[in-house]
Structure 1
Amino acid sequence: MKKIGLTLLTAFVGGAMALGVYKLAENKYADNMTLEDKQKVYFASNPSTAAVVSSAGAADFTQAAAEVTPAVVYIRTTYADKSNGQQDQLEQMFGQMFGQRMRPQGPQMASGSGVIISPDGYIVTNNHVVAKAEKITIVTNDHRSFEAKVIGTDPNTDLALIKIEATNLPIVKLGNSDAVRVGEWVLAVGNPFKLNSTVTAGIVSAKGRNIGIIGRGDDDDDNPFPVRQQENPSLKRGIESFIQTDAAINPGNSGGALVNTAGELIGINAAIASHTGSYEGYGFAIPINLAKKVLNDIKKYGAVKRGYIGVSFADLSDPEAAKSVNSDKTNGLYVNSLVTGGGAEQAGIKTGDIITKVEGNPVYESSDLQERVGRLQPGDKINLTVLRNGSEKNFTVTLKADAPAARTTAVSKSAAELFNKLGASFQPLNAAQKAKFRVNSGVLVTQVRPGGIFDDTEIPVGSVITSINKQPINSVADMDKVITSLKNGRLIITGYYPDGGSFSNVFEVQ
């Protein structure tokens, strides 16, 4: 028995020595290898992984273009004449005398694109395409014209859901933006420079881009979404996790489709990075997986319901932000503070933690967390991994509800125009709400958009509309019916404020 053990030990020592000598010889040989030979050795030892599966179909664009183009529409918007009487007349006169360039007189117009996503007329577009418009005209690919009404908007993602009265419309199939891979072919379909039904091709250049443009409108009361340090996910400023593409996108493409070569909608074109205002190689689209949640909420509730983690943080991918919190990490989100009673605090997350993963996926910058939370509702749970004292800990955070959705956009004599002029979104009252306000009919105001009648007369979110022109209102369809039969241009809107106080306002609609 001892003899056998000694033999095995001798064999083991001999093998180890032989292996050591081989490794020394291999290292000496490797030092003399060409770079090309080293490459061959490396890939022989580390074979490529299986073929990457993306959301793309075949590398031929004709079928995808044929399927998508009929469902991408041209949007023409009309805005109120903001001229100022005598002052504008003087400006016009003196401007002509001194050769100054004059502001256009009369109603203003703009254009964009939209994508039909439901056969009964629901269309997705950008919030900035329809914001504050008094009249929205849709021209389909087969040259039919419709007036659209705004169902609801979400400035936080720059999305809007509008609707036309039509049936059996062609639609674009919703894809899966999570499956999109950098480098795959995509098509942008829209109406740049009023050139209807234009298709351009490119590749996905990057994902999860945060370029700091949402919430940066010139007329916004809010400051631009901060770059160095962001309050998130209260997500009140803007949710940016764009798909970047080099498919040519120009003014007029906003709200149009970004599709893969299978003809599936993977994004809504929203912005370009440009010094001139025209295409310079960088276009950005809102991922469709984020848009699905926003659009479904708008359709169901009239506004977006969001859940919030309840933290403010510094994005450590910014070296200055990392330095400011004395962190040597180059990725993750440093927790600066917690909302008292918020989901993060209740889950056990602490100030000074660094959020490193969301649902097991690495967090390199704010957009990695931002988009994931933006898809969820109050009450949903999300799994976060944080780095604390050198080790990672996992927490399950229940998202909390916050204030009602932000006041938003859109604001003529058709029913659609008058509906848009009200500048609000609605949903039917449930039994509990009827009992609370002691009414038998009514709709709840779920969103108020700047520039509309409800905004001007300070009818806030949470109010209840019980009748218009003395006709009971239980749905948006009831409102359409009353507005359509409007005879004298007068609306009498009756209801209750959120605190229970009643109102009956009379509006002269021009």
Structure 2
Amino acid sequence: MRTLFVVVAFAAALLTACSFSRQPAMADSVVKIIVGAGHGSGVHIGDGYIISASHVVGTAEKVELKTSSGGEAEAVVLWANKAYDIALLRVSDRSGLGMSRLACTVPSVGDEVIAKGNPINAEFITVWGRIADSVREAGPWKSVVITDIATVPGQSGGGVFDTQGRLIGITVGVMVAPVGFSASLVGVGYVVPGRVVCDLLARGA
């Protein structure tokens, strides 16, 4: 019985180690997008293409990027879809940029996920959580899933990854609860699923 316990414990540790070994690759693919005095996040999916949220880039034609290694570059906004809140950018200088594989899937309720982004004044932060609800239309977003990940401004456009390190969604917003005559951020996040992102890429926005 003791031998069985040791084997199971070792297997669990190995799986955890494998999951964490993918962390650097995910982290290196996430960028900080700077537009004027504001900022958001984005994810490099290869060949200089970066996915972000439409509201992060706004009407800008070009934005500044910062990588997790401290490098800076300029990216061109190729298109932005406001209905789905997704934008596609391209950067020529890919120095210091990792790449995340985009999975054209929809995560299921209960799936463990990892989000990376640049919340408020912090940079390249990692948070963990789970998918809390299935695909729906919510507020200004045409198709999103809900996560229980603590989400705040600045994380928009950042990547949401599965435990295999695949990019399965893009953070686009946070749930807001009315409090008297004002509003309060609940922290629950809205994420555009990978399948929706793939569909937008296939049709060119």
Output the TM-score relative to the length of structure 1: 0.35
| In 2, Cα distance between equivalents of 1:122 and 1:277 | 34
The aligned counterpart of 1:342 is none
Distance 1:135 1:267, change over 3 A: same
Question: How far did 1:188 drift?
Answer: 0.8
Query: Which structure's relative contact order is higher, taking Cα pairs within 8 Å and 6+ residues apart?
Result: 2
Distance 1:68 1:204, change over 3 A: same
Amino acid at match of 1:110: G
1:188 equivalent to 2:146? Answer: no
The aligned counterpart of 2:145 is 243
SS in 2 for 1:208: strand
SS in 2 for 1:187: strand
| In 2, Cα distance between equivalents of 1:193 and 1:116 | 21
8 A contact 1:250–1:272 mirrored in 2: yes
Amino acid at match of 1:166: D
| In 1, Cα distance between equivalents of 2:91 and 2:184 | 30
Q: How does 1:61-460 map to 2 (within 5 A)?
A: 62-78=20-36, 109-118=37-46, 120-133=47-60, 135-167=62-94, 169-178=97-106, 180-214=107-141, 239-240=142-143, 242-275=144-177, 276=183, 278=185, 280-298=186-204, 304=205
Question: How far did 1:177 drift?
Answer: 2.4
Q: Which runs of 5+ in 2 are unaligned?
A: 1-14, 178-182
Which structure: larger Rg?
A: 1
Amino acid at match of 1:288: G
8 A contact 2:68–2:124 mirrored in 1: yes
CA RMSD of aligned residues (A): 1.9
| In 1, Cα distance between equivalents of 2:165 and 2:172 | 19
Deviation sequence 1:309-361 (CA, Å, 0-9, x none): xxxxxxxxxxxxxxxxxxxxxxxxxxxxxxxxxxxxxxxxxxxxxxxxxxxxx
SS in 1 for 2:65: strand
8 A contact 1:267–1:287 mirrored in 2: yes
Count matched residues. 184
Question: How far did 1:129 drift?
Answer: 0.4
8 A contact 2:117–2:125 mirrored in 1: yes
The aligned counterpart of 2:5 is none
Q: How does 1:427-506 map to 2 (within 5 A)?
A: none
What percentage of residue pairs aligned between the two structures are identical?
A: 30
Question: How far did 1:167 drift?
Answer: 4.0
More strand by share: 2
SS in 2 for 1:133: coil
Q: Which runs of 5+ in 1 are unaligned?
A: 1-57, 79-108, 215-238, 299-303, 305-510
| In 1, Cα distance between equivalents of 2:161 and 2:125 | 13
SS in 2 for 1:148: strand
